[in-house]
Amino acid sequence: MWSTFSEVHRARPVRLVGRERRSGFLSPFVAVEVELGTHDVPGRVVAGLTVGGHTLDCWYDGGRRLAGIDLVDPQGKVTHHRSRRHGRPPTPPDALGVMLTGRQLTVLTRIDGVWTARARVELEHDVEPADLVPHVAWQPRAGDAAPSPVASWRSGTTGQLGLRDVHFVANADGSAYLREGLAFLTMTHAGPGFFGTARCGVWSFDPTTYAIEHCSDLWFRRDGVVRGDHATHVVRDADRWLVAASSWATFDHAPEAGRSVDIGLATSEANLLTGEHVLDTAPLGVPTGDLPAPVVGTWDPHLTRIDGHWHLAFVAARRFFDFYPALARAEVAGSLDGWRLLGAATDRRATEGTVIARVDDQWRVLASDGPEGRSGQRRRFPVFDLAMDEVGALSAEHPTNIPWPSVLPLDDGGALMVTFDGTPAGGDLCGYGTHGDLVVLRAPAARTTARTTARTNGASGASHLVQPPERQERP
pLDDT digits (tens, 9 = 90+) for 192-247: 999 999 999 999 999 999 999 999 999 999 999 999 999 999 999 999 999 999 99
Query: 427 in a domain, yes or no?
Result: yes
Give the pLDDT score at 459: 34
Q: Is residue 87 located within the same domain as residue 190?
A: no
pLDDT of 451 > 50? The answer is: no
Q: Is residue 131 located within the same domain as residue 210?
A: no
> What's the total number of domains in the chain?
2
Query: 187 in a domain, yes or no?
Result: yes
Query: 5 in a domain, yes or no?
Result: no
Those residues with Cβ within 8 angstroms of residue 271's Cβ, 6 or more apart along the chain or in another chain: none
Give the pLDDT score at 466: 72
Q: Is residue 173 located within the same domain as residue 266?
A: yes
Which is nearest to 230 in space by CA: 281, 179, 182? Answer: 281
Alpha helices in 150-274 (DSSP H): none
Q: Is residue 105 located within the same domain as residue 206?
A: no
Tens digit of each residue's pLDDT (9 = 90 or more) over 290-334:
999 999 999 999 999 999 999 999 999 999 999 999 999 999 999
Tens digit of each residue's pLDDT (9 = 90 or more) over 345-368:
999 999 999 999 999 999 999 999
Single residue among 116, 141, 159 that ends a domain in this structure: 159
Query: 384 in a domain, yes or no?
Result: yes
Q: Is residue 357 located within the same domain as residue 386?
A: yes
Tell me, what amino acid is at 443?
A
Give the integer Cα–Cα distance in Å for 148 and 62: 12
Single residue among 159, 190, 215 that ends a domain in this structure: 159
Tens digit of each residue's pLDDT (9 = 90 or more) over 128-177:
999 999 999 999 987 778 899 999 999 999 999 999 999 999 999 999 99
Give the integer Cα–Cα distance in Å for 205 and 323: 30
Q: How many Å from the N-terminal Cα to the C-terminal Cα in the chain?
A: 36
Q: Is residue 386 located within the same domain as residue 404?
A: yes
Q: Is residue 130 located within the same domain as residue 171?
A: no
Confidence category of residue 464, pLDDT binned at 50, 70, 90 = low
Mean pLDDT for 31-38 is 99
Query: 8 in a domain, yes or no?
Result: no
CATH of the domain at 253: 2.115.10.20
* Long-range CB contact pairs, 179-186, < 8 A, 24+: 179/273, 181/206, 181/207, 181/208, 182/206, 182/207, 183/207, 183/408, 184/215, 184/234, 184/273, 185/212, 185/406, 185/418, 186/218, 186/232, 186/233, 186/234
Give the integer Cα–Cα distance in Å for 454 and 461: 10
Give the integer Cα–Cα distance in Å for 472 and 456: 22
Mean pLDDT for 262-270 is 99
CATH of the domain at 126: 2.60.120.200
Which is nearest to 194 in space by CA: 68, 264, 106, 313? Answer: 106
pLDDT of 453 > 60? The answer is: no
Single residue among 143, 159, 175 that ends a domain in this structure: 159
Those residues with Cβ within 8 angstroms of residue 378's Cβ, 6 or more apart along the chain or in another chain: 350, 369, 370, 371, 372
Q: Is residue 370 located within the same domain as residue 425?
A: yes
Tens digit of each residue's pLDDT (9 = 90 or more) over 56-114:
999 999 999 999 999 999 999 999 999 999 999 999 999 999 999 999 999 999 999 99
Q: How many other C-beta atoms lie within 10 A of the C-beta of residue 322?
A: 14
* Lowest mean pLDDT segment, chosen from 116-125, 138-147, 396-405: 138-147
Query: 294 in a domain, yes or no?
Result: yes
Q: pTM of the entire structure?
A: 0.94
Q: Is residue 213 located within the same domain as residue 265?
A: yes
Q: Is residue 341 located within the same domain as residue 325?
A: yes
Query: 322 in a domain, yes or no?
Result: yes
How remote is the C-alpha of 324 from its chain's centroid?
A: 19
Give the residue numbers spanning the domain of 79: 15-159
Contact 436, 426 (CB under 8 A): no
Query: 472 in a domain, yes or no?
Result: no
Query: Three-class SS of residue 96?
Result: strand
Q: Is residue 165 located within the same domain as residue 155?
A: no
Q: Which position has the higher pLDDT, 465 or 251?
A: 251
Q: Is residue 204 located within the same domain as residue 154?
A: no
